[in-house]
Amino acid sequence: MKPFAYLRAASVTDAVRACAAHPGARFLGGGTNLVDLMKLGVETPGMLVDVSRLPLDHVTDTADGGLRVGATVRNSDLAAHPAVRTRYPALSQALLAGASGQLRNIATTGGNLLQRTRCTYFQDASKPCNKREPGTGCPARDGAHRDLAVIGHSEECVATHPSDMAVALAALDADVVLHGPDGERTVAMTGFHRLPGDNPDADTVVRPGELVTEVLLPPLPAGAVSLYHKARDRASYAFALASVAAVLRVRDGQIEHAALAFGGLAHRPWRARTAERILHGAPATDATFLRAADAELAAARPLRDNAFKVRLARHLAVDALAELAARP
């Protein structure tokens, strides 16, 4: 591993200032992704600014009935928090479907959102990869891409975003609060991660030196229910082949509110706006759910070895919506 300097930040201002003063510096959360990538020679920061002990370890109610989650809240603590379990079960389920108990005990909310793709070429510094080294090519497109994107990909990159939590946050209409050298701003979760286009080296819209400080969850519409379903090769300790986060409110058999996001399919959590337009106002039946899923997934362009993910996503979405609709 390349030698690096280490600084434990005492405040948000401290952290942002230290990062701005050292080009190539990186924030350190739980380190469960960043340190692995440093050992592989994929990340080579000259300085780590440790933000894991900043006083951002809070989960508090907001005045409008939503929830404010600090960036250093550990994944395990967030999943177990009573307000999350009762009001946002999709988020709790997504967190518990990710990684392992040990990893969740150390991984932070901020770091989870900023984790990098698990594309094997990206993680192997001896291979070309447009995301790691722009202009070198994308061997995954014709190579090992069974786990990779089926929708929204580009000639330059077919990677997927690995976070389960981010998929739930996208369906729950969360916002992310950022502090940087130019002050504070808020970005909608649905616009936080990017599609690869012709510059896949940028995973997100986060600007250099910006620190994630909080995630804001709005209240769900009264009577809405939510869940997260994930399909993977093993029952635990495996990333999503496909996943779905769904929010639904049904009254008298009609859908009054629906929000749907897919994971494991794209370079970002895939908010299914086309499906949602079909669901709104329609009868809550399997036929509606199928029509909505098919309309959304019509935009999929699977690669040689991953068309099965489209079928998987379709089944996950229909099952999730049917399960939510059947709840009393």
Ligand X SMILES: Cc1cc2nc3c(=O)[nH]c(=O)nc-3n(C[C@H](O)[C@H](O)[C@H](O)COP(=O)(O)OP(=O)(O)OC[C@H]3O[C@@H](n4cnc5c(N)ncnc54)[C@H](O)[C@@H]3O)c2cc1C
Applying CB under 6 A, which residues contact ligand SF4? Answer: 117, 119, 121-122, 129-131, 138-140, 148, 157-159, 200
Is the CB of 119 or the CB of 242 nearer to ligand SF4? 119
115 binds, among ligand X, ligand SF4, none (CB under 5 to 8 A by kind): ligand X
| Beta-bridge partners for 182 | none
CB 200 to ligand SF4: min, Å: 5
Q: Is 174 in the site for ligand X (CB under 6 A)?
A: no
15: partner contacted, choices ligand SF4, ligand X, none (Cβ within 5-8 A by kind): none
**Among the listed residues 16, 51, 151, 284, the single contact to ligand X using CB under 6 A:** 51
Residue among 322, 293, 289 nearest 310 (CA): 293
Q: Which of 34, 38, 170, 318 binds ligand X (CB under 6 A)?
A: 34
Distance CA 197, CA 157 (A): 8
Determine which helix (DSSP H) or strand (DSSP E) holds 183, and give its type and residue range: strand 183-188
75/160 with CB nearer ligand SF4 = 160
Helix segments in 67-119, DSSP class H = 75-80, 82-87, 89-96, 101-106, 109-113
- Give the separation between CA 67 and CA 110, rounded to whole angstroms: 16
Q: How many residues bind ligand X (CB under 6 A)?
A: 31
134 binds, among ligand SF4, ligand X, none (CB under 5 to 8 A by kind): none
Closest distance of CB 290 from ligand X, Å: 28
By the rule CB under 6 A, 32 interacts with ligand X: yes
Q: Report the run of H or E that residue 49 belongs to, with start and end.
A: strand 47-50
Going from the C-alpha of 101 to that of each of 107, 166, 199, the distances in angstroms are: 10, 18, 34
Which range of residues in 58-66, 183-191, 235-243, 274-282 is near ligand X by CB under 6 A? 235-243
- Look-up: residue for tokens 């059947």? 326
60 class by beta-carbon count within 10 Å (0-12 exposed, 13-18 middle, 19+ buried): exposed
Binding residues for ligand X, rule: CB under 6 A, are: 26-34, 51, 71, 75, 98-99, 103, 107-108, 110-112, 114-115, 162-165, 211-212, 237-239
